[in-house]
Structure 1
């Protein structure tokens, strides 16, 4: 049967994140810092709105773009929060999570042979989606020395005549790095000068701890060159609801909508109802979650540095990205041994484009983080004996 598998499908690897999660699922007493999922439940008012809609028989297809009510709410939210106005009729598509939004954004603009510059470390799905679209992923390194920001110099080093698109995810998974307005202004000069398009994944926008999130589409020179991706999974603890959205100039939105129509039709209507309620009445619980993440971040990152695992203070998302080079182990060896010996699951940074580091999601309770640090200390002590 292998002869029937396409070369593109054969060329992409399975998720390195899920590999460790699946192993951890078979073990007892594991503290999983592996999968990036909030440990909070979806706010009850959000669930209740969806339940009530089902009771009222709201179980039908919606417009391919999403319900007009939700798209209008998204437009209001983006303009008031990030100063990025979008026309809800022609510039917004509601998708099945941000993962689908990223996929259709890439497929709508990438032709065979086009090079796509990917700011790394990054989430695992971008490069496979580029490959499946026939494009060529080109990693652009973001390093600890610059707090994992995307710099114009790093971008310039990877640009060729075949470069077409830049993909950036800030606040970043897995590093927690962020980009300021000044950072984006510097990158904008490169994007404009080389006639590139920017796909900006901002699903962690609300999880910004130091300062406020800046969206590149707020810059006039990038407004018509940016595809903004966002969603509800992280900010509102709605991972299983699978609601995201894509915002872009009308020509790109129209192209992405055609792909969305054929592969997904529309996001589930009951999930769209929940997303609308989250935007209307979810701010208080969202803000409470962010405050708790900030406390966990400080607790865990300080603990990592105390153990000698050098880690910058992430300004966004809910990930710490410590270096493990001081242990003498590769990131893969470190993650495998830590899971096997101390039942703490982390993700090797190499599967995310950040070798020599591991990703630790601090979206677990404070007690679990304290226990994880104790186990990591025991593990590190064992390496010295």
Structure 2
């Protein structure tokens, strides 16, 4: 008897988690591995946030189920946060709190996608988008964003990809894995195109405050009422507040879609973890300067490591202005070392140089590798030195 479904047998494991697990396994064997795989801040969760969780436990608030869509107090905190950083007001029926932003994405696709609906996804893309669309029975339509165009797609490319079955456009800005940001003008053109063709927009804004060197984040949902009414925004506390392990995400959008996503949550997760929700209330209130310190460190790392990585033979980079990743093109480097497959090349770097990167193949970009600079500058510089030495060997 076949125990697993055809679908899951065809599904790939997340390449970022697979790379991280391989690095951990080698470390457990005693190997000296520098791990640049995971996209999580190396800073601890701020103490005030942790204290809020402790207080919720001590006074018994964390002991019970909450509403499937999240605590009312947390939704109010999100409302205030939205006014500050998105510059428009939202109502509580436009908010869903989820067990991580990844689940918010999943709930969105399950709530909106019918079999054979098409979802346009620019590549490079975050590793889980494609499989999540497939889980919902939809068809992911990949539009390649060239490195020469700063990894951004144009309206012309989107129009070529659009068919009568197209329902959703997915945008991730700042981007994982590229760190690139769409300008207000670019987003306006894309948003107006979506309105003209009656498409929904899914905006993954999880890195919205991690922008550097004077760059500005523009929320596509803030551009006009027409664009906002068809846009669902995904966000959360993981990146901005160094809370990856707390698993609190959120979705903001049309009340009908949010209600449908809440129904999905009620039949799957029941509710996000109560204690994490109380911690998230404190996070959104931002009663200390932890974010500013973390942001300054990321900006310094980007500016220094970008220059150093650019000197690695065969590595070609576009300097990003958001998130915390570098995504160099390595076709020349592969040729220099005798490789034609980027995953094999990444494996060789791990085994021979002791540096764990993530293959670009999982992001829809078989010419690139991703590294996270969400680790110490000393560690990053040591990793670049190993890459230089390996390429020059």
- Quote how far apart the aligned CAs of 1:282 are: 4.9
Matched residue SS, 1:166: strand
1:377 pairs with 2:382: no
Matched, 1:18 2:17: yes
- Contact 1:84 1:215 (C-alpha < 8 Å) held by counterparts: no
Corresponding residue for 2:182? 179
Paired residue secondary structure (1:356): coil
Matched with 1:277 is 282
- Cα distance between partner residues in 2 of 1:178 and 1:26: 35
Cα distance in 2 for partners of 1:373, 1:282 equals 36
Q: Where in structure 1 are there 5+ consecutive unaligned residues?
A: none
SS, match of residue 128 in structure 1: helix
Which of 372, 379, 382 aligns to 1:361? It is: 372
Q: Is the 8 A contact 2:192 2:227 kept in 1?
A: no
Distance in 1, Cα, partners of 2:183 & 2:277: 31
Match of 1:48 in 2: 51
Measured on the aligned residues, the alpha-carbon RMSD in Å equals 1.2
Q: How many residues align?
A: 380
Asked if the contact 1:324/1:334 (under 8 Å) is kept, the reply is no
Within 5 Å, give how 1:98-117 maps onto structure 2. Answer: 98-117=101-120
Alpha-carbon offset, residue 7 of structure 1: 2.5
Q: How does 1:183-332 map to 2 (within 5 A)?
A: 183-209=186-212, 210-220=214-224, 221-282=226-287, 284-308=289-313, 309-327=315-333, 328=335, 329=339, 330-332=341-343
Q: Could you tell me which residue of structure 1 aligns to residue 82 of structure 2?
A: 78
Shift of 1:283: 5.4
**Contact preservation (8 Å) 1:293, 1:318:** yes
Match of 2:70 among 58, 66, 69: 66
| TM-score, with structure 1 as normaliser | 0.96
SS in 1 for 2:121: strand
- Which sits farther off after the overlay, 57-66 or 267-276? 57-66
Q: What does the per-residue CA deviation read over 1:90-128, in whole Å, with 9 as the maximum and x for residues that have no partner?
A: 100100010010000111110001011112111111111
Runs of 4+ deviating beyond 3 Å: none
* Cα offsets for 1:308-350 (capped at 9, x unmatched): 4111111100000001111113321221111001110000111
Cα deviation code 1:274-323 (max 9, x no counterpart): 11101113551011101100000111111111224111111100000001
8 Å contact from structure 1 (residues 46, 282) kept in 2: no
Q: Confirm whether residue 97 of structure 1 aligns to residue 89 of structure 2.
A: no
Give, in whole Å, the separation in 1 of the partners of 2:382 and 2:3.
47
TM-score by length of 2: 0.94
Q: Secondary structure at the match of 1:100?
A: helix
* Aligned counterparts of 1:84 and 1:127: Cα–Cα separation in 2: 30
Q: Deviations over 1:176-212 (max 9, x none)?
A: 0111211111111221122110101111111011322
Aligned residues of 1:73 and 1:276 also touching (Cα < 8 A)? yes
Change (3 A) 1:85 1:143: farther
Q: CA offsets per residue over residues 117-173 of structure 1, 9 Å max, x none?
A: 112111111111111100011111112122112321221121111111111111100
**Cα contact 2:111–2:264 (8 A) shared by 1:** yes
Cross-structure match for 1:5: 4
Moved more, 129-138 or 299-308: 299-308
Please say if residues 82 and 213 of structure 1, whose CA atoms lie closer than 8 Å, have aligned partners that are also in contact: no
